[in-house]
Homo-oligomer: A and B are copies of this chain.
Amino acid sequence: MKINFIKPVYAHCDLPCGVYDPCQAMIEAKSLQAILTKYPGLDDHAKQRAIIIKEERAELVKKHLMILWADYFKEQHLEKYPNLHDLFWQAIKQASKVKQSLDIENANLLIQKIEEIEKIFNETKAS
């Protein structure tokens, strides 16, 4: 993940009523990635806690993505990004996959999906 695509993320906290930012979903996704990286080395008790926390964090990813999709994006964005609906649907389903498995690859793919959303989000903010 390069620093340069992150910059614009912060530039857009000045929205009129709501302040949307894909970094809310990204922070939770990074947390899921960190949990799954550490998982194999954990003791039994910590492993059980990891699964509880994984459920919670993946749920938060879904919640943040859904707010972004339903509240931030408008008709005009859909015209420019016709795959927007499907991208969000895939990202949210990917968060469910992180819940359903211990494979870190699922967290990596989730982060990729959120990066795609961030890219579009930043473009809509810049224009």
The residues of A with any CB-CB pair to B shorter than 8 Å are 1-3, 5-19, 21, 23-24, 26-28, 30-31, 34-35, 37-38, 45-46, 48-49, 51-52, 55, 62, 66, 69-71, 85-86, 89, 92-93, 96, 99-102, 118-119, 122-123, 125-126
What number of copies of this chain does the assembly contain?
Answer: 6
Q: In the complex, what residues of B have CB within 8 A of residue A49's CB?
A: 51, 55, 99-100
Chain B residue nearest to A125 (CB atoms) is B1
Main secondary structure of the interface of A (DSSP, over half): helix
- Whether the Cβ atoms of A15 and B27 lie closer than 8 Å is no
- Whether the Cβ atoms of A70 and B51 lie closer than 8 Å is no
Complex: how many Å from CA A28 to CA B21? 10
